[in-house]
């Protein structure tokens, strides 16, 4: 029986990609497949569930299938390209690099390389799948001949826990709570949400606060910019909470009066659906995959004027009949989403791939495997002799070969 493994740049804890990867593995193993997760990096809480991407070279046979979760350029991605196995690409979208200019130079480079690398996979994979229709359409526009959708069907067990009592006591006090859940990064526009709260205070009522829950790790520069914005506006009651536990997240949804999303670029946006599940009225900017994810639920808006958005928040939260209608539409959208059979989708995708003729063996740069070995040696030095690694020249072979994984 062929093996069906997964590979990705990084397995994150509690994020949409990580949850989908773990869900796919459960389905594959329950169907009898040997199935491992290969990654470049992993959250410390999940590292024991992964194998280094370097083991792909020895572990994967030509008849095996790699499900490659593509979301950023990485060494794991380039190694997966070079391994002569069957491949399905699952595209989670790559944020346009210009969002990170002046905030995160490394991520600018990785997003740029990732978008460039994606085009090389058009002839490498047996099928390319978006985790949303928006992402599938992007794959089709790039030139992938066979595309489809492997839908995100989120689970909600992490929200069925006892709410954190400190969050409840701090924020369940009669003030209007405007909530957003997501990483504190520029494309999600937390800066606009801060301006909306300021406008709400000025035009409607000062008895309102903004709750921002999501990691800002590696985005400390952007975090400082947001604090500067808060200070310059003189707006009070902006609470930047960082990454929260499941108990804290549950409590935040419990105290929220409205979920407000101003993100300009999303491949799916699971927190929108979490808010549906917790029966919080949602208002979201109609960009990228957000309208498809909402699927008739919530309220879509197309303005970036803070005063107009503040007016929308006021209209939703001050009219019980309007709120009830919004929640009813969200309930229906959530029912449609959960009616999808994730297990059948995964196994049907695997069966379809094995029924297709295999894609041609990839054309690899003649120098790739030498550079691969050099990168392995550097990693070994970094892990076992960090002081010696620090003495190496700044221009290291692994850095000079960032683009040699294939011929684009």
Number of domains in the chain: 3
130 and 180 together in one domain: no
The model carries a pTM of 0.85
Both 295 and 388 in one domain: the answer is no
Residue 396 pLDDT exceeds 70 = no
Q: For residue 369, what pLDDT is reported? A: 63
Tell me which of 371 and 254 has the higher pLDDT.
254
Same domain membership, residue 209 and residue 60:
no
Alpha helix segments (H runs only) across 86-132: 105-118
The pLDDT score that the predictor gives to residue 382 is 65
Q: Are residues 211 and 320 in the same domain?
A: yes
Please say if the pLDDT value at position 398 is more than 70: no
**192 and 307, same structural domain?**
yes
Q: How far apart are CA 329 and CA 333, in angstroms?
A: 6
Q: Name the band, by pLDDT with cuts 50, 70 and 90, for residue 226.
A: very high
Residue 75 and residue 94 in one domain: yes
pLDDT digits (tens, 9 = 90+) for 19-30: 889 999 999 999
Same domain, 135 and 233: no
What is the per-residue pLDDT across 105-133, written as a single tens digit (0 to 9) for each?
988 988 888 888 899 899 999 999 998 89
CA distance 68 to 56: 12
Question: Could you tell me if 247 and 164 are in contact, meaning their C-beta atoms sit under 8 angstroms apart?
Answer: yes
| Same domain, yes or no: 232 and 331 | yes
Taking each continuous run of H as one helix and of E as one strand, the counts in the chain are 17, 13
Residues 267 and 403 in one domain: no
**Is 245 in the same domain as 130?**
no
CA distances from 273 to 60, 157, 283, 301 (A): 36, 13, 12, 17
- Examine the pLDDT at 17 and tell me if it is beyond 60: yes
CB 72 within 8 A of CB 111: yes
Position 397 pLDDT exceeds 60: no
In 3D, which of 125, 137, 67 has the Cα closest to residue 347?
67
Q: Which residue has the higher pLDDT, 374 or 131?
A: 131
Q: Would you state the pLDDT for residue 383? A: 65
Residues 72, 170, single domain; the answer is no
CATH number at residue 123: 3.40.50.2000
Which residue would you say has higher pLDDT here, 263 or 1? 263
Burial group, residue 387, by CB count within 10 angstroms (0-12, 13-18, 19+)? exposed
Q: Domain range holding 395?
A: 364-408
209 vs 384, more confident: 209
Closest CA to 210 of 285, 260, 280, 271: 260
- Distance, in Å, from the CA atom of 28 to the CA atom of 5, rounded to the nearest integer, reads 9
Determine phi and psi for 347, rounding to 5 degrees.
-70, -35
What is the 8-class DSSP label of residue 266? -
């Amino acid at each position: 029986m062929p093996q069906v493994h997964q590979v990705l740049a990084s397995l994150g804890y509690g994020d949409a990609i990580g949850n989908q990867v773990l869900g796919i593995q459960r389905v594959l193993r329950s169907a009898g497949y040997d199935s491992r997760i290969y990654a470049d990096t992993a959250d410390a809480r999940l590292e024991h569930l992964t194998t280094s991407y370097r083991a792909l070279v020895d572990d994967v046979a030509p008849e095996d299938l790699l499900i490659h979760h593509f979301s950023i350029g990485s060494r794991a991605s380039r190694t997966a390209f070079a391994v002569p196995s069957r491949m399905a690409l699952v595209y989670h979208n790559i944020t346009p690099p210009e969002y990170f200019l002046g905030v995160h130079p490394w991520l600018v480079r990785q997003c740029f390389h990732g978008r460039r690398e994606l085009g090389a996979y058009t002839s490498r994979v047996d099928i390319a799948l978006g985790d949303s229709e928006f992402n599938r359409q992007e794959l089709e526009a790039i030139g992938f001949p066979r595309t489809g959708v492997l839908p995100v069907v989120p689970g909600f067990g992490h929200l069925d826990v006892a709410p954190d009592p400190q969050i409840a006591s701090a924020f369940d006090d009669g003030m209007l709570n405007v909530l957003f859940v997501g990483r504190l990064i520029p494309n999600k526009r937390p800066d606009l949400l801060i301006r909306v709260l300021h406008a709400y205070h000025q035009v409607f009522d000062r008895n309102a606060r903004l709750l921002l829950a999501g990691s800002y790790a590696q985005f400390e520069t952007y975090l400082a910019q947001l604090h500067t914005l808060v200070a310059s506006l003189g707006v009070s009651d902006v609470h930047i909470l960082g990454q929260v536990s499941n108990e804290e997240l549950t409590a935040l949804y419990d105290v929220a009066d409205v979920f407000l999303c101003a993100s300009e670029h999303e491949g799916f946006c699971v927190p929108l659906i979490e808010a549906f599940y917790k029966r919080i009225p949602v208002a979201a900017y109609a960009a990228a995959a957000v309208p498809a994810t909402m699927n008739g639920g919530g309220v879509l808006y197309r303005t970036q004027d803070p005063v107009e958005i503040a007016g929308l928040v006021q209209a939703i939260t001050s009219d019980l009949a309007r709120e009830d209608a919004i929640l009813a539409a969200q309930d229906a959208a959530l029912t449609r989403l959960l009616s999808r059979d994730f297990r059948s989708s995964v196994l049907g995708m695997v069966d379809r791939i094995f029924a297709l003729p295999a894609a041609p063996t990839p054309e690899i740069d003649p120098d790739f495997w030498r550079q691969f070995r050099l990168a392995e040696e550097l990693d070994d030095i970094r892990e076992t002799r960090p002081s010696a690694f620090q003495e190496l020249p700044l221009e290291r072979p692994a850095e000079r070969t960032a683009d040699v994984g294939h011929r684009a």
